[in-house]
């Protein structure tokens, strides 16, 4: 290994992502020497430690003791380091150096992330908006990798960390994983990454992007941009559904209101027409009564009795003029009842209107008779 990999240590600068644990301990020694080396995980090909240097915690990946002298594993380690150090993205755990760590041999020094794997994070049932943000960050970092002609090849919940502070994504393990096939001979084939993303979508948002997740697992999307557009369109559609329903309900309410308004207008017009028919007929009836009274007053006693089927013994003195008028009104009123009944027949299917006609006609007749008898 060349000396450049052991010197020029970029991890001395603060990470722009701001996810490292800031360790401030009283009486601590600001030293470049490693301290508190702690084994946190054993894998098939490597051992994972945490350690402190310059009062900051780092992740240290060392080859297993039985592999440290084997060229095959040394080359894989160097390949992982070159890949990691070439990546610069806020949602990828940063790789800082490849250097000798006392007692552990050549090690890759990486950003230590204070968080949980996606699998463990989901057990806490985070809110939907947080899940969507995690998904968006995951798609963003995958888009970054694919734009560099790189693929992860081992995309799963255990290789995605979510920080405790802020719930931000950190993608890890691009090199030595539980199996050696994590380094693919076809780095430009992004299909497997996208298919595995579909399964992650189903886990992150199982009830919101079902159709998109299914199409993703079926390999229907050729790149991350297509997948992002599909998710965006689905999200906009879901957002639009309440608006569409509201517009539909409003339109339905307007139609019902308009129908009720027209029905009410039709009823009012029909009632108005009925009243006009009754009033017109009664005015004609009133006119006929007045004309008959005038004609009766000019008739001789014999003519009057003959016209109204009265005996000739009917009184013919001045006092009988009132009786004569009463007889005329009574005779003509019977004709009025026939007119009333003919109008009621026009509304034979509406008992309410028939009742109204009967009542109106009766009231008008009573008023008319009273006025005529008082003249």
Domains of the chain: 3-111 (3.30.200.20), 115-222 (1.10.510.10), 268-374 (no CATH)
Which residue's structure tokens are 């995690």?
134
Q: Strand pairing partners for 53?
A: 56
Query: How far apart (Å, rounded) are the C-alpha atoms in residues 171 and 272?
Result: 80
Q: What is the pLDDT of residue 375?
A: 63
- pTM of this structure: 0.60
Q: What is the pLDDT of residue 28?
A: 55
Which residues of the chain fall below pLDDT 70? 1-29, 175-188, 314-324, 374-375
Q: What is the pLDDT of residue 329?
A: 73
- Cα separations in angstroms, 115 against 118, 202, 356: 9, 22, 83
Q: How many CB atoms lie within 10 A of CB 121?
A: 22
Q: How many CB atoms lie within 10 A of CB 241?
A: 10
* CB of 248 closer than 8 Å to CB of 267: no
Tell me the two tokens of residue 160. 């995605």
Q: What is the pLDDT of residue 271?
A: 85
| Degrees, nearest 5: CA angle 274-279-282 | 125
Query: How far apart (Å, rounded) are the C-alpha atoms in residues 92 and 95?
Result: 9
């Amino acid at each position: 290994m060349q000396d450049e990999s052991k010197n020029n240590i970029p991890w001395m600068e603060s990470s722009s992502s701001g996810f490292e644990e800031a360790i401030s301990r009283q009486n601590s020694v600001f030293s470049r020497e490693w301290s508190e080396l702690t084994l946190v995980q054993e894998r098939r090909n490597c051992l994972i430690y945490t350690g402190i240097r310059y009062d900051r915690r780092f992740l240290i990946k060392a080859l297993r003791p039985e592999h440290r002298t084997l060229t095959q594993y040394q080359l894989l380690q160097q390949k992982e380091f070159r890949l990691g150090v070439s990546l610069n993205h806020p949602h990828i755990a940063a790789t800082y150096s490849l250097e000798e760590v006392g007692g552990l041999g050549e090690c890759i020094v990486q950003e230590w992330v204070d968080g949980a794997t996606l699998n463990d994070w989901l057990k806490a049932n985070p809110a939907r908006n947080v899940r969507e943000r995690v998904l968006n960050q995951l798609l963003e970092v995958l888009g970054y990798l694919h734009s560099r002609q790189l693929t992860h090849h081992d995309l799963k919940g255990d290789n995605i960390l979510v920080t405790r502070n802020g719930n931000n994504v950190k993608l890890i393990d691009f090199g030595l994983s539980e199996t050696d096939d994590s380094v693919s001979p076809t780095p430009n084939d992004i299909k497997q990454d996208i298919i595995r993303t579909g399964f992650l979508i189903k886990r992150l948002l199982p009830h919101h992007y079902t159709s998109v997740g299914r199409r993703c697992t079926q390999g229907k999307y050729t790149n991350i941009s297509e997948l992002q557009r599909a998710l965006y369109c689905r999200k906009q559609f879901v957002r639009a559904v309440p608006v569409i329903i509201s517009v539909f309900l409003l339109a339905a309410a307007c139609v019902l209101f308009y129908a009720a308004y027209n029905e009410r207008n039709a009823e009012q017009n029909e009632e108005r027409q009925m009243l006009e028919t009754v009033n017109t007929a009664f005015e004609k009836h009133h006119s006929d009564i007045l004309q008959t009274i005038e004609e009766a007053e000019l008739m001789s006693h014999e003519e009057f009795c003959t016209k109204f089927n009265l005996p000739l013994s009917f009184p013919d003195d001045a006092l009988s003029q009132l009786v004569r008028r009463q007889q005329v009104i009574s005779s003509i009123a019977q004709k009025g009842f026939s007119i009333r009944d003919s109008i009621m027949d026009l509304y034979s299917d509406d008992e309410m209107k028939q009742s109204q006609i009967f009542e109106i006609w009766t009231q008008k007749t009573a008023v008319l008779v009273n006025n005529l008898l008082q003249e």
